[in-house]
């Protein structure tokens, strides 16, 4: 699966999480680019990434910082 995440660093939270089939990487990359351009034009500072993982559960394990707040991450260390 392919995941597109729009992440608000200042708030420490996901704004958008979209999923795509593994065969739709080029579509996901186009959506990412369009979103980054739109956010940039509005002056909105967000992190936008496309990631691939076997499942959302796997993504949550490998990229915990997008899904957990700072206190959760510190406790797990």
Q: What's the confidence (pLDDT) of residue 70?
A: 59
Contact yes or no for 3/33 (Cβ under 8 A): no
Label residue 68 by pLDDT band (50, 70, 90): confident
Q: What share of the chain is helix, strand, coil (3-state, %, to 5)?
A: 50, 25, 25
Residues facing residue 3 across a β-bridge: 19, 51
Q: What's the confidence (pLDDT) of residue 75?
A: 63
Label residue 53 by pLDDT band (50, 70, 90): very high
Where does 43-69 have alpha helices with state H? 56-62
């Amino acid at each position: 699966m392919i995941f597109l995440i729009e992440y608000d660093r200042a708030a420490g939270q996901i704004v958008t999480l979209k999923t795509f089939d593994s065969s739709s990487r080029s579509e996901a990359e186009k959506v990412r680019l369009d979103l980054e351009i739109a956010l940039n034009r509005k002056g909105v500072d967000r992190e936008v990434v496309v990631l691939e993982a076997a499942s959302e559960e796997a993504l949550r394990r490998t990229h915990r910082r997008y899904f957990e707040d700072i206190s959760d991450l510190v406790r797990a260390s």
